[in-house]
Structure 1
Amino acid sequence: MPPSDWIRRWSHLVRPGGTVLDVACGTGRHLRWFHERNHFVTGVDIAQAAIDSISELGEAICADIENGPWPLTGRTFDAVVVTNYLWRALLPKIVASVAPGGVLLYETFAAGNETVGKPGRADFLLQPGELLGACAGLRVVAYEDGFLTEPERFVQRIAAVRAPLEAPRAPRRLPL
């Protein structure tokens, strides 16, 4: 499966050569995309087979992030990528994993999807504006909440950046 159009569209926001975390990475379609563009990649997934399939790309972590501890405590990344995955309790940890100057690229199913397919349980569908609320403190570059036709699905997706650490100020020029 090719990388998400949303992830490809906003991948230019990631610092060249920067670190990329893919949460619930599966077999690594986005890790491969970023690895091919010379980024250092880390993937986390519950499935050992998925982790085995991406281990040659970079750091591959097998972890049950829904029931166990967050395996990346204290670490931040130049990009955090999440697609087709929602576990609300992790949203603050995912957002906190975005480094200063980094970007969150998130795309998953939204309310309404139950009318066209799976997932259909409210536990796995973002409510209107929910992703925006989770990204409070980040600057939203792009946000969409609506229906897509190929394949039919309701999604919310966001590209949001964390402010960089304060840059050094240029010396002031004094008049002569």
Structure 2
Amino acid sequence: MPHSALLQQYLSSLQALKAKEQVPVLDLACGHGRNGLYLIENNIPVIFADVKGEILEQVKQSVEMLATDKQKLAHFWQVDFELINAASSASAPDHISPLQNKLFSAIIVFRYLHRPLFEQIKAAIIPGGMVIYETFTEQQALLGRPKNSDFLLKHGELASIFSDWKIVHSFEGIVDVSIQDNTQQAIAQIVAIKPN
């Protein structure tokens, strides 16, 4: 599967952030890393983060096939972003989010939703930095998986979460994923800049 067209559309903005700040992009819940790999190929440093070590190993193998100078732009972080649910447990009263005290020029998130993370994502992006977020909406349950509402955005939810940022792109609707087998997905997208 190719990288997201959103990244291609906003590549120059991400490159400008890199030139100005020298802070990496976080590919949060990176999966097989297709989006982060596209950024690496365009000389943008990326931290690939995922809960699954075996997935990160596959991304490392993909990175190793790139030129040496590009390989140096990739870093890997095995982390469970959903651990913040444990914040109130008696065994970990001082538990903090994995994103706490970390800063990124941008955070990209595709096909992943864990609502307690939104405020941590917003805090972990530098002023003037960018979020690029795309995932499924509730309409997806009518088209296929996922069907669990925990993993599906409500109508207008993504735009509402980033309403205090400068929204440069917002979309919500049904897109054609595969013309060959007539596959569609219901998604929401946002590209937003954090206020300075």
TM-score, structure 2 normalization: 0.78
Structure 1 residue 11: deviation in Å? Answer: 2.5
Which of 60, 70, 77 lines up with 2:76 in the alignment?
Answer: 60
Matched, 1:123 2:150: yes
Aligned length: 164
Corresponding residue of 1:169: none
Aligned to 2:194: 162
- 8 Å CA contact retained: 2:138, 2:154: yes
Asked whether the 8 Å contact 2:51–2:81 carries over to 1, the reply is yes
**CA distance in 1 between partners of 2:116 and 2:99 (Å):** 15
User: Which 4+ stretches in 1 moved above 6 angstroms?
Assistant: none
Shift, 1:112, TM fit: 0.6
Aligned to 1:76: 103
Equivalent position of 1:7 in the other structure = 7
Unmatched 5+ stretches in structure 2:
64-70, 85-95, 178-182
Structure 2 Cα separation of the partners of residues 137 and 126 of structure 1 = 18
How many angstroms apart in 2 are the aligned matches of 1:122 and 1:11? 32
Root-mean-square deviation (CA, aligned residues, Å) is 1.6
Task: Identify which of 166, 170, 175 aligns with 1:139.
Answer: 166
Q: What's the counterpart of residue 31 of structure 2?
A: 26
Once the two structures are overlaid, the 10-residue window that deviates more, 9-18 or 116-125, is 9-18
SS in 2 for 1:3: coil
Amino acid at match of 2:176: T
Q: Does structure 1 retain, via aligned residues, the 8 Å contact 2:18–2:105?
A: no
Structure number with higher helix proportion:
2
* Residue matched to 1:172: none
Q: Which of 107, 113, 129 is the matching residue for 1:86?
A: 113
1:78 & 1:35 partners in 2: Cα distance? 14
Aligned to 2:90: none
- Return 5+ residue gaps in structure 1 as ranges: 165-176
* Deviations 1:85-132 (CA, angstroms, capped at 9, x unpaired): 000011111122221111100000001111111111111110011101
Query: Aligned residue for 1:171?
Result: none
State the Cα deviation string for residues 32-70 of structure 1 (Å, max 9, x = none). 111111111101101101122234542211111112553
Identity across matched positions, percent: 29
In the superposition, the TM-score normalised over structure 1's length comes to 0.86
SS where residue 100 of structure 1 aligns?
A: strand
Q: Hey, what does 2:67 align to over in structure 1?
A: none
